[in-house]
Amino acid sequence: MSADPARVLLLTDPAMERHAAAGHPERHERLAAVAKGIEAGAAAGGAELSVRAPQPADDEAITAVHDQEYLEALDQLDASGGGWIDPDTYLAPGSMHAARLAAGAAIDAALAVARGEVAVAFSVSRPPGHHASARRAAGFCLLNNVAMAALALRRAGHAQRIAILDWDVHHGDGTQAIFDDDPDLLYASTHQRPLYPGTGSPEERGQGTAAGTMHNLTLAIGADDDAFVAAWQDLLERVRAFDPEAILVSAGYDGHRDDPLANLAITEHGYRTVSAGITALTREFGLHGAALVLEGGYDLGALERSAAATVEGLLTGPSAAAPASSSPG
């Protein structure tokens, strides 16, 4: 008798498309591209895919990470018709509902994996979150989705020691700032440097009792799959030493060679190989799997192919290191 197929959960909601500004690279078509890729990756990995809408994050979940006054200011700006917070970051009417859904999707993804409901849960959501700090929106981000997911795991009693892995091409300065003094949260990031936001040097290691929990490896302009995979082999050894009880991934795909906003040369093969390495860790530690939260990535074809490769790599594990069905079509 064959084993039951692995399960993949895709969390998304069309209401997230209401967050919109003409000509902005972080556009709603990204969601459909990633969803199509997840579908292809689940099929390639022999998994059963389910899709559901998330519950919006409530104020308790949001204010576990963000100041109440900051949340109120965002809600007021949204209610007044929106506006630009900085040259990159805006609110439109409906943006805060989208942001609450994005936060809720990240939380639901983390909880679904922690409960053993699925092996892979992917929050296909926008606006992204890893540049948002406790009191500041920045870099297209309003609320820090992955940070809220991590703290939701703690509140629910599923995990105390949590690793957040961030392969977006930009350093997740918001996530690092939120957890910089938390000894039970490991943050590991690869990112292009020089590039916005200019943070994330290897010397940024955490504060006080959390010294040694922030792990930043920078990638030079033009860095390819070999450099990306080598960096993550190093970082995953650090994650292993940390002995996490849950693994969350800030999955940004703007390091892809086709992305218009950065200058790396990563391909689907790189994302597949690193994802397979993550699964090797989850198996070693007896975890149910990994939860992913969409961050950046602005070429639709690259998004689709990279999401497919990621899911396939997570499902297949280390045997997925060689290219297989990386293109959904």
- Catalytically active residues are 131
Two tokens at 301? Answer: 């074809």
Q: For residue 105, give the H/E element and its range.
A: helix 95-114
Cis check: omega of the bond before 244, within 30 degrees of 0: no
Dist CA 311 CA 120 (whole Å):
7
Q: Map residue 97 onto helix, strand or coil.
A: helix
**Are residues 77 and 83 in contact, defined by beta-carbon separation less than 8 angstroms?**
yes
Nearest in space to 185 (alpha carbons), one of 252, 110, 245, 123? 245
Residue 148 tokens, joined: 């809220």
The 3-state DSSP class for residue 291 equals: strand
Instruction: For residues 294 and 102, give the distance between their C-alpha atoms in angstroms, rounded to a whole number.
Output: 9
The residue to which tokens 């490896």 are assigned: 217
Measured distance CA(102)–CA(22) in Å, rounded: 20
The answer to whether the CB of 274 falls within 8 A of the CB of 313 is: yes
Quickly tell me which residue has 């895709």 as its tokens. Answer: 10
User: In whole angstroms, what is the distance from residue 92 CA to residue 198 CA?
Assistant: 27
Query: What tokens appear for 55 in the block?
Result: 């519950």
102 vs 125: CA distance, rounded Å? 5
> Token pair for residue 92?
């439109």
H or E stretch covering 292: strand 290-294
> Are 192 and 218 a contacting pair, CB within 8 Å?
yes
3-state SS class at 93: coil
